[in-house]
Amino acid sequence: MTHSLVCPETVSRVSSVLNRNTRQFGKKHLFDRDEETCWNSDQGPSQWVTLEFPQRVCVSGLQIQFQGGFSSQRGRLEGSQRGEALSKIVDFYPKDNNSLQMFPVPPAEVDQLKVTFEDATDFFGRVVIYHLRVLGEKTV
């Protein structure tokens, strides 16, 4: 059974935060399941989120909810096992809307993930995400 793999021990990093206001727009809001909060990146050519899991996981899907007008037209999921270089798992193509979008992922066993958002629909390259869920199984 697949479930959300992000837990309190998962270490996350983001490319940027709008005006460096982590209190209002920080990475913690990606995973808090609160409809009123979001991660809002600063401007730039691409934005990204990295995740380091406390144990190896088998990823099978991504769920992302953007703010319409501040989404990405192309995304890339990369992963690695400890000490290895990141390698591409899958490209995905979000729609520019407010709905929770599901992206299937070929099963990949990883310790680390990087989700890159390219070709932002916002003129300045900002991305706004209300929910980011990595789905799959913990491996033993």
CATH tag for 11-138 (out of 3.90.550.10, 2.60.120.260, 2.70.210.12, 3.40.50.300): 2.60.120.260
Q: Which two tokens stand for residue 140?
A: 């033993």
Which 8-state DSSP code applies to residue 30? G
Summarised one tens digit per residue, pLDDT across range 6-51 is: 999 999 999 999 989 898 899 999 999 899 999 999 999 899 999 9
SS3 at position 23: helix
Residues paired with residue 136 on neighbouring β-strands, in sequence order: 3, 59
User: What predicted TM-score, i.e. pTM, was given to this entire model?
Assistant: 0.93
Q: What is the pLDDT of residue 54?
A: 95
What is the rounded distance in angstroms from the CA atom of residue 67 to the CA atom of residue 96? 8
Using alpha carbons only, give the angle 17, 18, 21 rounded to the nearest 5 degrees.
Answer: 75
In sequence order, which ranges of the chain are alpha helices (DSSP H)? 22-25
Q: What is the pLDDT of residue 96?
A: 96
Query: For residue 128, what pLDDT band results from cuts at 50, 70 and 90?
Result: very high
Contact 59, 10 (CB under 8 A): no
